[in-house]
Amino acid sequence: MAGGNQSDVTSDSASSATKSTLLSTPDLGHTLQITQHKLNGLNFREWYQSVLLVIRGKGKVGYLTGEICQPKQGDSGYQQWEVENSIIMALLINFMEARIGRTFLFYSSAHEIWKGVQDMYSDLENTSQCFEIRSILRSTRQGTITVTEYYNRLVDLWHNMDLFYSIPWKCSDDGNTYNQMLEKDRVFDFLQGLNKDLDEVRGRILGVKPLPSLREVFSEVRREESRRRVMLTSNDDIFPEEQPQGSALMSSHSQNHKVNKDVDHLCENCKKPFPYEGNLLENTWKTKGLEVTKSA
């Protein structure tokens, strides 16, 4: 009986350990659908970022970079590597259009596919492409779009530039200093493209020391835009009921005046349309040829 209990305890412990391992291992079989970023030969930068998000979320980005090396056949970790490598290869190919994906079907590892795609479709070392993005960035202005739309457009361009400037910093302090300088430049990029009607909030932000973060600057400008919109709307609707009444009175007066002219009420004395406040001499008017006597 005791032996049976020990066996049950051992079995339960092994089952718990296996369950714990499975729960802590990313589910590679669960495919996130990002069909809007399937590689088509022209959207490498978007595809690159989407794939990284998915594979990094599964904790297996080392298969892409080559940091997780293939064990020798027969080693204890070979079977697991083979399974996970095959799944990631399938994910990569699934994230491509069929005409592109079929060219990578016979590669032997996810790292080979990842490197092959970059060699064939990446323009991250294309100087002219980098220059084009920077030129667009420098000339982008808010114009007729909202602050939010303008900000998101800049963010998209900044992300594209980040791909060109992927710097492996040996010192984390240097990397942090560089990122602070980069964010300050982006605050200036954002502020300089705002419309003139936001000059007040722009000057207020530039007067703050130290300069706020990019997100704080965007939030402040967006609040100012919202405030201005509300104030303009409120000014038009301060007396929402009086405006229609005034319009109605003016319209009524105009219509009455028009009617008086149309029916041709004429004063016998001055021959002007009735009623005419300047005429107090006669009590008799002529209406379409008929004399009408006004009672006292």
Domain termination site, one of 70, 98, 121? 121
Q: Give, as one character, the DSSP assignment of residue 35.
A: G
Q: Is residue 139 part of a domain?
A: yes
Residues 58 and 97 in one domain: yes
Query: Per-residue pLDDT for 288 more than 50?
Result: no
Q: Is residue 22 part of a domain?
A: no
Contact 112, 64 (CB under 8 A): no
| pTM of the predicted protein model | 0.55
Express each pLDDT in 123-147 by its tens digit. 766 778 788 889 999 999 999 999 9
Domain termination site, one of 208, 232, 256? 232
Q: Is residue 60 part of a domain?
A: yes
Domain termination site, one of 121, 144, 159? 121
Query: Per-residue pLDDT for 253 more than 50?
Result: no
Contact 47, 95 (CB under 8 A): yes
Categorize the per-residue pLDDT at 26 as very low, low, confident or very high, splitting at 50, 70 and 90: very low
Instruction: Please give the average per-residue pLDDT across 167-181, as a whole number.
Output: 84
How far, in Å, CA of 130 to CA of 135, rounded? 9
Contact 132, 110 (CB under 8 A): no
Domain tally, the chain: 2
Q: Is residue 224 part of a domain?
A: yes
Residues 139 and 105 in one domain: no
pLDDT of residue 287: 46
How far, in Å, CA of 46 to CA of 38, rounded? 9
Strand partners, 39: 96
Q: Give, as one character, the DSSP assignment of residue 212.
A: P
Residues 54 and 100 in one domain: yes
Q: In terms of residue numbers, what domain contains 142?
A: 127-232
Express each pLDDT in 27-36 by its tens digit. 554 544 544 6
Contact 88, 63 (CB under 8 A): yes
Length of the chain: 296
Instruction: Please give the average per-residue pLDDT across 217-237, as a whole number.
Output: 86
